[in-house]
Structure 1
Amino acid sequence: MAKTKTIKDQLNRSIHLRYIPKRIISLVPSQTELLCDLGLESSLVGVTKFCVHPHHIRTNVAVVGGTKQIHIDKIKALQPDIILCNKEENTKDIVESCELICNVHVSDIFTINDSLELIQQYGEVFNKSKEALAIINTIKSELEDFNVFIKNKPTLKAAYFIWRDPWMVAANNTFINYLLKLNKFDNVFGNKIRYPEIAFNKSTKNREVDMVLLSSEPYPFKEKHKKDIQEFYPKANIILADGEMFSWYGSRLTKAFKYFKNLRLNL
């Protein structure tokens, strides 16, 4: 009989594995992409409707709901060995419901080191340590190169919008804010927590903001939305930002730093 292997997830919860999980459900888009880049696409039996990378994944794999609402009966019927969640993306109720079915691993990401730890954990859980190390080393190399690039660039005051009606921004205690700091973007909402709503009126006009980033997700900001915000930041450069680069914390980080370089070079 195989020896039970115990690992910890990023909430320090113990997960007891009697074998390498072969039937995986991922309830987080960036983690789905990471699994595929680790060579585990054929083991995925369930994903969310927001899992768009690789582009064909929702055609080949059962869709079990979103990140906040899931079809628990559908998940149960797929007979997963493990379900992968994230503290921010998924609710506590979702995690607890999934735990009644099988092992659940929960990630919790605020920094690049957290991201690297998650990749390493997946390598251990799914017997893909070699593949995980290759991704980790690429991210470290790209980050080192980017830090040299950004070192002497000026710090810019910035705001990062994630939603409209109501207007919402990424503030402190978020992975987005961590990446803004890496880019030497001083978040003007850094004194607020998480994803606060912002009320716009004449008194909230801010002439000191250098740039406003309108994210492509979760709200799909387009060119037409720039004018909605320009009057409140009359001197700011309004930019449509690739939200995946600023918020996806798995293998997407192998591409993010090249994107950040180009973003800065085109300001």
Structure 2
Amino acid sequence: MATRNGSFFIVLINSSHKFRIISLVPSQTELLVDLGLENAIVGVTKFCVHPKNIRKSKMVVGGTKTIHLDKIKALNPTFILCNKEENTKEIVEACEKITQTHTSEIYTINDTLELIKIYGGFFSKEKEAQNLILKLNTIIEDFYQFIKNKPTLKVVYFIWKNPWMIAANNTFINYLLTLSKFENVYKNLSRYPEITIENLKQSDFILLSSEPYPFKENHITEIRQYAKNAKIILVDGEYFSWYGSRLLKAFGYFKKLRESI
């Protein structure tokens, strides 16, 4: 039976059920493992890189935008985990025809905490979920104290080139930027728009993400001619876009980033 809780679908599961979970979202795969559910995972994507060896012990069923339905069906899953942003509507609908499917929708820290709580309930890991939530709340409160007197810096956050694309408003990336007192100069735009590099808005810093496009040192030189007054920095995109248990390490990274600039 499925009911709706905010932006989440809750599926009630018998706690005695033997779980066979397929995760189509890298950050949610990591979260499952940190909740003690690694043995329940039977399928992951090729982008599920945390923990390091997860793809060696689980069936890789495709990416986040393309999946192999035959492999998914063959695994006989009891549950498939998706995300509204990472997976297409067609993928979610196809999964719903196979088995119980949950699609997360994450824009804020509260959304993340709610997801952890929901997974704890789904998979009989309430204690583990509560402990993780307590740890995250402690880390986040510490970061609030660290960042509160820091100056606000104007930034552009690039996620792709050819075409050039940035993270704008209504994204988890923008939420974390704002939390870190980085003012997104493209906050008037929504989601992940293409921009014209020749007309790049002025900012204090330009952040080049390591994912989904793997920006490198040579791209700093390429962008420099259009942003002569901004400092250009390569950043770890996992910390800005992965939610769940990755946030345990993210705020330490944000601290170091702010201190380095």
TM bucket normalised to smaller: over 0.9
1:89-146 deviations in whole A, cap 9, x for unaligned? 0111111111111100110000000000000000000000111111111111111001
In 2, the alpha carbon distance for the partners of 1:249 and 1:44 equals 19
Instruction: Provide, for residues 61-107 of structure 1, a one-character-per-residue CA deviation record: whole Å limited to 9, x for no partner.
Output: 00000001100011000000000000000111111111111100110
1:62 corresponds in structure 2 to 59
- How far apart, in 1, do the equivalents of 2:2 and 2:45 lie? 27
Give the match's secondary structure for 2:52: coil
1:31 aligns with 2:22: no
Give the AA of the match of 1:33.
Answer: E
1:96-245 to 2 correspondence within 5 Å?
96-201=93-198, 204-206=199-201, 208-245=202-239
Is the Cα contact below 8 Å between 2:147 and 2:180 reproduced in 1? yes
**Cα deviation code 1:1-58 (max 9, x no counterpart):** xxxx766466343524244451000000000000000111111100000000001000
Structure 2 residue 13 is the aligned partner of structure 1 residue 17: yes
Secondary structure of the corresponding residue to residue 153 of structure 1: coil
What letter matches 1:258 in structure 2? G
TM (norm. structure 1) is 0.94
Counterpart contact for 2:10–2:118, Cα < 8 Å = no
Deviations 1:162-182 (A, max 9, x none): 001111000000000000000
What is the CA RMSD across the aligned residues, in angstroms?
Answer: 1.4
1:68/1:90 contact within 8 Å kept: yes
**How has the CA–CA distance of structure 1 residues 252 and 242 changed in structure 2, closer, same or farther, with 3 Å as cutoff?**
same
* Residue 230 of structure 1, CA deviation: 1.3
- Partners of 2:39 and 2:6 in 1: how far apart? 25
CA shift digits 1:217-263 (9 cap, x unpaired): 00001111101111211111111111000000110011111000000
Q: 1:246 aligns with which of 240, 243, 255?
A: 240
Measured in 2, the distance between the counterparts of 1:78 and 1:189 equals: 43
Q: Distance in 2 between matches of 1:18 and 1:184?
A: 44
Cα distance in 1 for partners of 2:156, 2:214 equals: 16
| One-letter identity of the residue aligned with 2:13 | L
Long gaps (5+) in structure 2: none
Relative to structure 1, the CA distance from residue 131 to residue 31 in structure 2 (aligned partners, 3 Å threshold; closer, same or farther) is same
Task: Say if 1:45 and 1:62, in contact at 8 Å, map to a contact too.
Answer: yes
Sequence identity (%): 61
TM-score normalized by the length of structure 2: 0.96
CA contact 1:51–1:57 (8 Å) conserved in 2: yes
Q: Which runs of 5+ in 1 are unaligned?
A: none
How many residues of Structure 1 are paired with residues of Structure 2 in the alignment? 260
